[in-house]
Amino acid sequence: MRNLLASLVILTVPAHAAETVPVRTGSAAFGDWRTDAPGVVRLIRPGDLPAPFATPSASNGPQDAALPRNPEVHVPDGLTASLWAEGFTGPRTIRVAPNGDVFVAETDEGDIKVVRPTAGTEAAAPARVYAKGLDGPFGMAFYPPGDDPRWLYVATTDAVFRYPYRSGDLAEAKPERVLDLDISDGGHSTRDIAFSPDGRRMFVSIGSQSNDAEDLTAAPKAEVAQLPLGAAWGDETRRADVLSFDPEGHDRRIFATGIRNCVGLAVQPRDGGLFCATNERDGLGDNLPSDYVTRVREGGFYGWPWFFIGSHEDPRHRGERPDLAGKVTVPDVLFQAHSAPLTMSFYDPPAGAPAALGSAYAGQAFVAMHGSWNRAKRTGYKVVRAVMADGVPTGAYEDFATGFVGADGRVWGRPVGVAAMRDSSLLIGEDENGTIWRVTPKTGTR
């Protein structure tokens, strides 16, 4: 095994302290929650991945814990995290309306709640129910993009709805059903939604029906030839894909394929590029394959189920699609396997507003990691920053918010949502105890 020091490199990253920091690479990039701390930077490359089944496939779900008496979320020096809102049941996605109201999808409950920040206080006002009775609501997006939306779009497990919306609305109007997704039942159930900056395209992410297309039987070559590059068939038709529509739900297209479970979509403010936070497949060992964040290229194929992280062939599909070798788009930022990244958000303070976290965070991407059952030593359970330089991912990622696992290894917080408020403080939601945390500068540091 390589010496630890040999696995450290120096990389200039736009960190809060604007300094060069050591980056853990190679074997040093792999660890568990005990090695997590704000400021730790990892860079995993495709060549760092172990062979399939180098370790057994583990079943090690988190040991849940109640909210500690004095919970503490660790964030970088100069910042502090405080409990902002609580009492949610399984919160997932967080979206901030242009007027500052905070919308929270309680996916398992089938509700959407809205929280109005209370001026001059640390805590939020009590949440109000905006919509209820939905089938797994997850993705939310205001439309048209900009400061004066007229609709709130909501993606559920099998459809997309939109609610007439005016700035400040706290109760739903009668929704319209924009489209039925027309996909198989079961499997990954979350659907995220995002719009292109010009408002002409609506993107919807759909996870696979299975872990690794275990039951995907062969299809006639002529049929496969008619599909987009890397698209699957059978129960996986239009799954493990990002789909594109117009805002009315028409003009359905497959935008990108082979993305096992693109849980979180985000549009980069800098150039309008589409990004995705992805849960990769289980069952190949502790450190395989990497979860990731990536730019989503139109027509791109990201490997699932036949390949992963470039031309690494999945041994469970050996020899099935040799025609796809060399055609797999390598993701931009590789995370430790089984970190379970969920939603992501670009830190883009409103024009004229100060960057509360510090100007070096402007344009950076924050990713909430939920943690997984499929690793002997748990990882994830934190929020990380996918390091961007001039709008382009460097491949490195930095621990930003940690401490959701107690010293005894029990998990009291599983990050699920992340979003910037109008004052450019950062919200972090977790679904183990249904809380939302707010990251702000420490008093006297701005």
Q: What is the per-residue pLDDT across 265-304, written as a single tens digit (0 to 9) for each? A: 999 998 999 999 999 999 999 999 999 999 999 999 999 9
**Stronger pLDDT, 270 or 163, i.e. the higher one:** 163
- pTM to 2 decimals? 0.94
Q: What is the per-residue pLDDT across 215-240, written as a single tens digit (0 to 9) for each? A: 999 999 999 999 999 999 999 999 99
Q: For the domain made up of 5-441, give the CATH fold.
A: Neuraminidase (2.120.10)
Write down the domain spans for the chain: 5-441
In whole angstroms, what is the distance from residue 446 CA to residue 162 CA? 40
Q: What share of the chain is helix, strand, coil (3-state, %, to 5)?
A: 5, 35, 60
Q: What is the per-residue pLDDT across 170-228, written as a single tens digit (0 to 9) for each? A: 998 999 999 999 999 999 999 999 999 999 999 999 999 999 999 999 999 999 999 99
Q: Using alpha carbons, list the distances in angstroms from residue 9 to 23, 405, 445, 446.
A: 5, 28, 30, 31
In whole angstroms, what is the distance from residue 93 CA to residue 265 CA? 11
Picking from 372, 346, 371, 343, the residue whose alpha carbon sits closest to that of residue 361 is: 346
- Please, what is the Cα angle at 383 between 380 and 385, to 5 degrees? 115
> Are 42 and 396 contacting, i.e. CB atoms less than 8 angstroms apart?
yes
> pLDDT-based confidence at 353, cuts 50/70/90?
confident
Q: Answer whether residue 374 shows pLDDT above 50.
A: yes
| DSSP-assigned beta bridge partners for residue 399 | 384
In whole angstroms, what is the distance from residue 217 CA to residue 344 CA? 34
pLDDT of 443 reads 80
> pLDDT-based confidence at 4, cuts 50/70/90?
very low
- Please, what is the Cα angle at 91 between 334 and 32, to 5 degrees? 35
* Burial (CB count <10 Å: 0-12, 13-18, 19+), residue 21: middle
In whole angstroms, what is the distance from residue 230 CA to residue 305 CA? 9
